[in-house]
Amino acid sequence: MRASAPASSANLGPGFDALALALELRCEVSVEASSEWEISDDPDGFIEGAARRISTQPLRVAVTSAIPIGKGLGSSAALLASLEASVRRHEGVEVDLDELFKSVTAAEGHSDNAAAAVYGGLVLARAGGVHPLEIHPSLSVVVAVPREALSTREARRALPDTVPFEVAARTAGRSIRLVEGLRTGDQTLLGSIGLDELHEPSRISLRPIIGTLLEVAIRAGAPFASISGSGPSVIAVVETSSAPSVREALAAEECLVLSPAIAADGVR
């Protein structure tokens, strides 16, 4: 049995730990019965450990993924979602997306990535539940993936314990403008958001290439750009007609440049 789940770009600047966008870069997992555990390409045992938590019977597990690993694109959430969905289908159990979301969140620790991987689209995922949001069809994304990696743990450790009240207030305003700008496709509104003050400066200090890529994307015509997840990848939201110039500018920075479609579907 097979299942796949998309990559995701979480945070989106001021939407820290709340917003995520599913991207059409997929992780596909296939499972079949086996007399012993057989896992393809699993040097650290992560896949086998996750599979053993889901299935009590040995399985042969094969994973094919187009998602860069350790780059802030939700590779682990996509793997966990597609793995559990494929195991459930193998067992003849209907996949309940709400239950799958809870399971992936518990295993992965990030509800925003989990929600985008399971449900697809643009989502808000916080304590109040998961809420799908609209994104205007005129918008596309360009993703720049640097050669260096940045672990979520390292990026999280760099965050300050507190932020000034003024920063929190400005971030709230930015997040509202972001959601409305994505809904309407309003380039002026998206361009008014500016760079995040809440978490991105700390992460840029760890990997200065992030700041360079953000600046390059904005100069090339992207009205909005942010770190993808905990980084070091950067995602630029652009009007589709502007995407080629943004791609060209980012490619000059010697990084991998991707132009994935927005994934309307999550697990499938």
Instruction: Supply the CATH number for residue 54's domain.
Output: 3.30.230.10
Tell me the average pLDDT across 168-195.
Answer: 96
Q: State which residues form the domain around 83.
A: 2-132
Q: What is the CATH number of the domain that holds 238?
A: 3.30.70.890
Beta bridge partners of 194: none
SS3 readout for 183-222: HHCCHHHHHCCCCCCCCHHHHHHHCCHHHHHHHHHHHCCC
Token pair for residue 121?
């689209």
C-alpha distance from residue 62 to each of 33, 42, 49, 218 (Å): 12, 10, 14, 39
Based on the domain organization, do 203 and 108 belong to the same domain? no
Specify the pLDDT at position 76: 95
The reply to whether 264 falls in a domain is no
Instruction: Write down which residue in 98, 132, 166 finishes a domain.
Output: 132
Task: Tell me the pTM.
Answer: 0.94
Instruction: Write down which residue in 81, 104, 132 finishes a domain.
Output: 132
Based on the domain organization, do 144 and 122 belong to the same domain? no
pLDDT at 43 over 80: no
The reply to whether 267 falls in a domain is no
Phi, psi dihedrals of residue 116, rounded to the nearest 5°: -65, -40
Give start and end residues of each alpha helix (H) in 91-230: 97-108, 111-119, 152-157, 165-184, 187-191, 200-206, 209-219
The reply to whether 107 falls in a domain is yes
Kind plus residue range of the DSSP H or E element containing 83: helix 75-90
The structure tokens 């709400």 sit at 98
Based on the domain organization, do 114 and 203 belong to the same domain? no
Q: Taking all residues of the chain, what is their mean pLDDT, rounded to a whole number?
A: 94
Based on the domain organization, do 110 and 165 belong to the same domain? no
pLDDT at 160 over 90: no
- Which of 197, 212, 66 lies closest to 146 in space, CA to CA? 212
Specify the pLDDT at position 45: 85
pLDDT in tens, 127-147: 778 999 999 999 999 999 999
Instruction: Write down which residue in 91, 115, 132 finishes a domain.
Output: 132
Tell me the average pLDDT across 36-61.
Answer: 89
pLDDT at 151 over 90: no
Specify the pLDDT at position 233: 97
Tell me the average pLDDT across 78-99.
Answer: 95
Q: By percentage, how much of the chain surpasses pLDDT 90?
A: 87
Residue environment code for 75-89, b if the CB has 16+ CB neighbours within 10 A, otherwise e: bbbbbbbbbbbbbbe
Instruction: For helices 111-119 and 97-108, give the axis angle rounded to 10 degrees.
Output: 150
Beta bridge partners of 20: 10, 123
Contacts 24+ apart (CB under 8 A), 63-67: 63/27, 63/28, 63/29, 64/27, 64/28, 65/26, 65/27, 65/28, 66/7, 66/25, 66/26, 66/27, 67/7, 67/25, 67/26, 67/27
pLDDT at 181 over 80: yes
42-56, 58-72, 188-202, 204-218: the lowest-pLDDT one = 42-56
Based on the domain organization, do 13 and 122 belong to the same domain? yes
Q: By percentage, how much of the chain surpasses pLDDT 70?
A: 100
The reply to whether 265 falls in a domain is no
Based on the domain organization, do 119 and 238 belong to the same domain? no
> Sorting pLDDT into bands at 50, 70 and 90, what band is 202?
very high
Counting the structural domains of the chain, the total is: 2
pLDDT at 221 over 90: yes
Q: How far apart are the C-alpha atoms of 249 and 116, rounded to whole Å?
A: 28
The structure tokens 């393809």 sit at 40
Q: How far apart are the C-alpha atoms of 144 and 16, rounded to whole Å?
A: 19
Based on the domain organization, do 125 and 140 belong to the same domain? no
Based on the domain organization, do 82 and 146 belong to the same domain? no
